[in-house]
A and B are shown apart, each in its own frame.
Chain A
Amino acid sequence: MKTLSLRNLGKTYFDPYAGAHVTAVHDVSLDVEPGEFISVVGPSGCGKTTILNMIAGFIPYSKGDILLDGKPVHGPGPERGVVFQSFALFPWKTVLDNVGFGPKMRGVPKAERDRIAREYLALAGLSHAAHRYPNELSGGMQQRVGVVRALANNPDVLLMDEPFASVDAQTRMTLQEELTRIWQERKPTVIFITHDVAEAVFLANRVVVLSKGRVLDEIAVDLPRPRVWDDLVKDDRFKQLSARVLQMVRAA
């Protein structure tokens, strides 16, 4: 497991319509320990998705460094798995082949990558859907596939960009509980982008609040695990933390 470090990270791009340079991310420094679950919250336009896209390597950064185990990262790579808000499953591949895609790119033989894919599908309770196509599944099931597809590739860091924003509220709570369970079993390093304060606090060890392209504050979340909504909605500590984060986000 490796440490991810952002050092004075910044992003400025040229907007040809405005005819001016726009700074989306000013100066962000952050260290993520192996096995840590970090939530990044902030109002829209605070640069949280831009930061995630830079870590994923989808867009270049303008200043600073992104270091994975001390080595700078440029461009997308399998050591940084991504879970998309749009799910981004391959519609022409079965669920099994979607989850086996990462191992396939590594040259893992068919039988072995099917075994890996089945293991991860079982982890998300999706064994029955192995031979279905993504459009035959509900949104919640599609995103479960999206999560285990990224995990099956054994990334050093799992980057999640508002992954549960496009599913209904009940499904979202189930997915959040499942994610905390999977995280406890596998302990992947996770950076989770969201604008939902309760979600951020529910999932994370540490919540990073962003504002206008800068880190406003970091809050440690010392709530016990396993976390389930039935308990946490009644938990005073959870309410306190959520209220604190919410206050910061609204003031940001």
Chain B
Amino acid sequence: MNPMLQIWAGYTRLTRRWPGIAAVIPFIPVLALWTAVSEAGLFPRAFFPGPADVVRAFFTLTYKGILPDYLQDSLVRLATGAAVGMALGIPLGVLIGTSRWAHRICWPVLLFFQAIGDIAWLPILLIWFGFGLTTMTFVIVYTVLFPVVLNTVLGVESVPRDLSRAALSLGASRARVLWEVTLPGALPNIITGLRNGLGYGWRALIAVEMIVGTSGIGFMMFDARRAGSTVEILLGMIILGLLWYIVDAWILAPLERATGQRWGLVTS
């Protein structure tokens, strides 16, 4: 048999038993290339550090307590923003999705404000709220809000009309229909909205931390630039990618699949 096929078969068996491996293996060539370029000495070490330098920086910053603190700050900000964004976005989305009048009135306004991207708010926010937590939270909430609202509307509108009718003719009140039919029916879309919102929010947070932050991963990276520490900048970038991968691939995507596929609402 073709040896490539054997390798492929072995890889398939291996990743079926340990799915985590499938996530790691594609990074091996990337790491190898990075190591090769940095070890070849094409660039000065301080200008282009290798993976080993970044790992060392990771342990130093963790030992000093800077990295855990900054990471916690960033994650708390994201979680706060996401929670507020959902608390506003889901009810608003349900309202727009269920009421034709709310839809007519809110939809154009919503699209208008969606076009003014998160960062575009910074100049006015800095004048209004200054360099602080309020400005950061506003941007995160703003970023999370739109994907949550738009997907919730989509979800609510995609619930078949016969389902609400069935519930009503089985004796459900309007409020029970909302709770028993509309929300569960829209849930897969709401989770999709949350997933997108957190993704955008994570990126916006880093950008805002660079500009207004006094802590956080974004601040760490920008501060490292001032100190000329490429190692810490690279470390920050890797953490961004890694953390998002974990949150998205291990929590959000399975959640989205679990609701959608279990109920047969998503055909995949």
Stretch at the interface among B168-176, B212-220, B246-254: B168-176
**What sequence of 0s and 1s flags, for each residue 35-78 of chain B, a beta carbon within 8 Å of any chain A beta carbon?**
00000000000000000000000000000000000000000000
Chain A 32-87 interface residues, beta-carbon cutoff 8 Å to B: 56-58, 75-78, 80-82, 84, 86
CA distance A106 to B264 in the complex (A): 28
* Interface contact B170-A78, CB-CB below 8 Å: yes
Chain A 106-130 interface residues, beta-carbon cutoff 8 Å to B: 106
Check A135 for interface membership: any CB of B closer than 8 A: yes
CA distance A212 to B208 in the complex (A): 66
Residue of A nearest to B162 (CB): A88
List chain B residues, Cβ under 8 A from A75.
Answer: 168
Check A101 for interface membership: any CB of B closer than 8 A: yes
Q: Kindly name the residue among B163, B170, B181, B263 whose own CB sees the greatest number of chain A CB atoms within 10 A.
A: B170
- Cross-chain contact of B169 among A57, A90, A91, A134 (Cβ < 8 A): A57
Count of CB-CB pairs between chains A and B under 8 Å: 74
List chain B residues, Cβ under 8 A from A150.
Answer: 169-170
Check A189 for interface membership: any CB of B closer than 8 A: no
List chain B residues, Cβ under 8 A from A102.
Answer: 170-171
Please tell me the size bucket of the interface on B.
Answer: 20 to 34
CA distance A238 to B176 in the complex (A): 45
CA distance A86 to B187 in the complex (A): 21
* Interface contact A92-B263, CB-CB below 8 Å: yes
How many residues does chain A have at the interface if contact means C-beta atoms less than 8 Å apart? 27
Shortest beta-carbon distance, A79 to chain B, in Å? Answer: 9
Check B167 for interface membership: any CB of A closer than 8 A: yes
**What sequence of 0s and 1s flags, for each residue 76-98 of chain B, a beta carbon within 8 Å of any chain A beta carbon?**
00000000000000000000000
**What sequence of 0s and 1s flags, for each residue 156-193 of chain B, a beta carbon within 8 Å of any chain A beta carbon?**
00001011011111111100100011001101000000
Shortest beta-carbon distance, B191 to chain A, in Å? Answer: 13
Grouping DSSP codes into helix (H, G, I), strand (E, B) and loop, the B interface class, with mixed when no group exceeds half, is helix
- Cross-chain contact of A90 among B171, B176, B181 (Cβ < 8 A): B181
Residue of B nearest to A146 (CB): B166
- Cross-chain contact of A86 among B162, B169, B180 (Cβ < 8 A): B162
Check A180 for interface membership: any CB of B closer than 8 A: no
* Interface contact B171-A153, CB-CB below 8 Å: yes
Residue of B nearest to A159 (CB): B169
Grouping DSSP codes into helix (H, G, I), strand (E, B) and loop, the A interface class, with mixed when no group exceeds half, is loop
Check A133 for interface membership: any CB of B closer than 8 A: yes
List chain A residues, Cβ under 8 A from B126.
Answer: none
* Interface contact A105-B166, CB-CB below 8 Å: no
CA distance A78 to B166 in the complex (A): 10
Chain A 122-149 interface residues, beta-carbon cutoff 8 Å to B: 133-135, 149
List chain A residues, Cβ under 8 A from B187.
Answer: 92
CA distance A91 to B168 in the complex (A): 16
* Interface contact B263-A133, CB-CB below 8 Å: yes
Given contacts A78-B169, A133-B262, whether A88 and B176 have CB atoms under 8 Å apart is no
Shortest beta-carbon distance, B176 to chain A, in Å? Answer: 6
Chain B 140-168 interface residues, beta-carbon cutoff 8 Å to A: 160, 162-163, 165-168
List chain A residues, Cβ under 8 A from B160.
Answer: 86, 88
20 A-B pairs whose Cβ atoms sit less than 8 Å apart in the complex: A57-B169, A58-B165, A75-B168, A86-B162, A88-B163, A90-B166, A90-B180, A91-B185, A92-B187, A101-B167, A101-B172, A101-B180, A102-B171, A105-B171, A133-B262, A133-B263, A135-B263, A135-B264, A149-B166, A153-B170
Please give 5 more A-B residue pairs, beta carbons under 8 A apart, in addition to A90-B181, A102-B171, A105-B171.
Answer: A57-B168, A78-B171, A88-B163, A92-B259, A105-B172
Q: Which 3 A-B pairs have the closest CB atoms?
A: A135-B264, A78-B171, A76-B168
